[in-house]
Amino acid sequence: MKSTHMLLLSRVLAAIFGGYALTSGVAVLLAAVLPMSRAEAVLTATLSAFVIYTCAVIWVFAVQDLRRVWMGMLLPAIVCGGLGLLLSRGGA
């Protein structure tokens, strides 16, 4: 495959899967830290997810540097997700 195609594929994968990872990570953090009952916090997190995902995908296609794109997806995903799991209220 041509290198331009590989670059495009990488960007699309970053948008779809990287974006989903970021969305899930942020949602996990929100569910853990929002000052509401557990059920309410989880619902708020899931309802907000689609705004986050949309913004992430738009950002992936607005930024030139592909490395920055992947970092921008995976770093927050890991940090937020990790923090959220640590702070979770005795779930998983």
Partner 1 sequence: MAWLHTWCGLWISWLLFAIFLTGTLAVFDDPIGHWMTPEHALEEAAHANDPPPPKVTDRANRLALALDFMEKEHPKADMWEIWPVQRPGQGLSAYWFQPSGGYGSAELNPLTGALVEHVREENQRDTIGGHHFVDFHYELHAGRIGVWIVGITTMIMLVALVSGVITHKRIFKDFFTFRPAKGQRSWLDAHNAVAVMTLPFQFMIAYTGIAFFSDDYVPAPVVAQYGMENGKKAFLSDWNDVGKPARIGQAMAIPDLESYALRAEQAIHQEIRAVVLDNPNDASMRVCMYGWNEESDTLKRISANTGMACYALATGEQIAVRQPGHADSGPAGLTRIVMSNLHMAGFGGTPIRWLYFFCGLAGTAMMGTGAILFMVKRRQRAGGEFGSATERVYRMIECLNVAAIAGLAVACVGYLWANRLIPVGIEQRAGWEVRAFFGLWLLMLVHACLRPEKRGWIEQLALLAVLCVLLPILNVLSTGDNLVAQITRGDWESAGVELCSLAFGLLAAWGAWKVHKRKEKPARKAAAKERGAPASLQTTMEGS
Tokens of 59: 């950002």
Q: Which of 9, 50, 68, 79 binds partner 1 (CB under 8 A)?
A: 50
Chain-centre distance for alpha carbon 35? 21
Pick between residue 72 and residue 81 the one whose CB is nearest to partner 1.
81
Find, among 63, 76, 60, the residue nearest to 16 by Cα: 60
Pick between residue 18 and residue 84 the one whose CB is nearest to partner 1.
84
* First vs last C-alpha separation in the chain: 42
Interaction of residue 85 with partner 1, rule CB under 8 A:
yes
Interaction of residue 47 with partner 1, rule CB under 8 A:
yes
Interaction of residue 82 with partner 1, rule CB under 8 A:
no
- What's the CA gap between 81 and 87, in Å, rounded? 10
Site of interaction with partner 1 (CB under 8 A)? 23-25, 27-28, 30-32, 36-47, 49-51, 53-54, 57-58, 61-62, 81, 84-85, 88-89, 91-92
